[in-house]
Amino acid sequence: MRASYVYRHSSLLGRFGKADADFRLCGHGHRQLAQRFGSVLVINPGSAGHARDTGNGRQLSCAVLA
């Protein structure tokens, strides 16, 4: 299977909802995401050093999992 980026509007995101997990962390796309698919919370923290997310005005971002 070829690796690819999974962005907030990707049809591939639904697959995360089939995971046997409470949450899934993904990254390297530099775009924020916090969305629930089924019972699984999918989180992409964005980027704390190289913001590429035009959806948030290219603000730097991170996530804290507590």
Query: Is the distance from CB of 46 to CB of 25 less than 8 angstroms?
Result: no
- Chain Cα centroid distance, residue 61: 12
3-class DSSP assignment, residue 37: strand
If pLDDT is split at 50, 70 and 90, which confidence band does 2 have? low
pTM beyond 0.85, yes or no: no
List pLDDT tens digits, range 6-34: 888 888 888 888 999 999 988 878 889 99
Query: What percent of the chain is predicted at pLDDT more than 70?
Result: 97
